[in-house]
């Protein structure tokens, strides 16, 4: 029982990171109906910007860890948001009226550009960061034939789960109760009619990309602090899993993206803990396939209704 609870905590932590990335996928798809396959690499860029900023602040003599972390996350969100805006401006806006495969191919091209840019500028080796937030709370303790099992919830895991809940709540309120949220929902329903009633569609779509990139930066920063190592390839793997989470939860639904992220994280961790780590990705994609057979729109997705 203790081992199961520990894996449950680990799965919720990993799933929270996937969920933050998945929100970026589902927001973009909900408004323009396209998948931003460069979003995973935006997450990777955010992690590298966070690491570079952290090392720069330490080199400059900053001693307060909370102040350093605050500055790092602000800088990472600012620069990563600029990357997100650039991707929308270069890869999506010029091709918004073309056939659907064109922006998809361009997004894959942007993903390759970001990967190679980081590989050339930062090198192909993994970049380590020593643990910055240590310690935790012991939830329970039990004895087994192999020894004593201690269930711990680390402070870093608390921060990740709490940050995810706060951001999820904040974005849900933003979309449901602000003028920007109303503009996003209007563009999701009918971009042309939204433009006719005064909504700036281009600005709304750009801000959506910026918001998704900012969330990816937060996810990259937390991934860096949790695991302590990053490389130029983490964006591809995390992006694929986050996209899977968005589809599993129902792409176009923010709660669905978060639910899908948590489920993917739990499936990976539980499969690695009770079976074999080599097939954890196979298990996650198999569950996705089974769910989509019975629920083609995902767990919380709404079926698309074509207007005629």
Which pLDDT tens digit goes with each residue over 141-156? 777 666 677 788 899 9
What does the H/E/C string look like for the chain?
A: CHHHHHHHHHHHHHHHHHHHHHHHHHHHHHHHCCCCCCHHHHHHHHHHHHHHHHHHHHHCCCCCHHHHHHHHHHHHHHHHHHHHHHHHHHHHHHHCCCCCHHHHHHHHHHHHHHHHHHHHHHCCCCEECCCCCCCEEEEEEEEECCEEEEEEEEHHHHHHHHHHHHHHHHHHHHHHHCHHHHHHHHHHHCHHHHHHCCCCHHHHHHHHHHHHHHHHHHHHHHHHHHHCEECCCHHHHHHHHHHHHHHHHCCCCHHHHHHHHHHHHHHHHHHHHHCCHHHHHHHHHHHHHHHHHHCCCCCCCCCCCCCC
Give the distance between the most distant pair of CA atoms in the chain. 70
How many residues does this entry show for the chain?
308
Report d(CA 175, CA 233) in Å as an integer.
32
CA distances from 130 to 17, 51, 133 (A): 20, 11, 9
What pLDDT score was predicted for residue 306?
54
Q: What is the pLDDT of residues 236-267, one digit of tens each?
A: 888 888 988 988 888 878 888 899 999 999 99
Domain residue extents for the chain: 19-232
For 88-126, b/e burial (b = at least 16 CB within 10 A) is beebbbebeeeeeebbbebbeebbeebbeebeeeeeeee
Task: Name residues whose C-beta falls within 8 Å of residue 20's C-beta, 6 or more positions apart in sequence.
Answer: 164, 167, 215, 216, 218, 219, 222, 261
For the cut 80, the answer to whether the pLDDT of residue 305 exceeds it is: no
What pLDDT score was predicted for residue 304?
61
Burial class (CB in 10 A: 0-12, 13-18, 19+), 249: buried
Residues 190 and 34 sit within 8 Å (Cβ to Cβ): no
Task: Name residues whose C-beta falls within 8 Å of residue 74's C-beta, 6 or more positions apart in sequence.
Answer: none
Report d(CA 156, CA 140) in Å as an integer.
18
Find the helix packing angle between 39-59 and 101-122, rounded to 10°. 30
What pLDDT score was predicted for residue 293?
87
For the cut 70, the answer to whether the pLDDT of residue 307 exceeds it is: no
What pLDDT score was predicted for residue 203?
92
Task: Name residues whose C-beta falls within 8 Å of residue 211's C-beta, 6 or more positions apart in sequence.
Answer: 24, 27, 81, 171
What pLDDT score was predicted for residue 144?
66
Residues 168 and 238 sit within 8 Å (Cβ to Cβ): no
Q: What is the pLDDT of residues 65-112, one digit of tens each?
A: 999 999 999 999 999 999 889 888 888 888 877 777 787 788 888 889
Residues 12 and 266 sit within 8 Å (Cβ to Cβ): yes
Tell me the pTM: 0.90
Report d(CA 241, CA 14) in Å as an integer.
11
């Amino acid at each position: 029982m203790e081992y199961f609870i520990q894996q449950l905590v680990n799965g919720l932590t990993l799933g929270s990171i996937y969920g933050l990335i998945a929100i970026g996928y589902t927001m973009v798809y909900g408004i323009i109906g396209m998948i931003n396959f460069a979003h995973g690499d935006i997450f990777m860029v955010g992690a590298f910007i966070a690491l570079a900023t952290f090392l720069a602040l330490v080199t400059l003599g900053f001693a307060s860890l909370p102040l350093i972390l605050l500055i790092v996350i602000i800088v990472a969100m600012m620069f990563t948001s600029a990357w997100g805006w650039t991707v929308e401006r270069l890869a999506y806006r010029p091709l918004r009226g073309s056939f659907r495969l064109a922006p998809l191919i361009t997004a894959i091209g942007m993903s390759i550009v970001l990967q190679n840019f980081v590989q050339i500028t930062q090198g192909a080796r993994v970049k380590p960061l020593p643990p910055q937030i240590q310690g935790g709370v012991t939830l329970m303790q039990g004895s087994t034939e192999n020894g004593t099992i201690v269930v711990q919830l680390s402070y870093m895991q608390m921060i990740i789960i709490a940050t995810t809940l706060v951001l999820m709540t904040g974005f849900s309120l933003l979309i449901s109760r602000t003028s920007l949220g109303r503009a996003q929902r209007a563009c999701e329903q009918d971009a042309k009619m939204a433009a006719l009633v005064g909504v700036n569609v281009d600005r709304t779509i750009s801000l959506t990309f910026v918001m998704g990139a900012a969330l990816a930066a937060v996810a990259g920063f937390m991934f860096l602090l949790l695991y302590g190592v990053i490389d130029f390839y983490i964006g591809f793997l995390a992006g694929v899993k986050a996209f899977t989470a968005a589809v599993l939860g129902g792409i176009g639904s923010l709660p669905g993206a978060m639910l899908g992220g948590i489920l993917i994280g739990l499936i990976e961790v539980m499969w690695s803990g009770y079976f074999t780590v080599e097939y954890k990705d196979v298990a996650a994609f198999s569950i996705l396939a089974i769910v989509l057979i019975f629920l083609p729109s995902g767990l919380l997705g709404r079926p698309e209704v074509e207007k005629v």
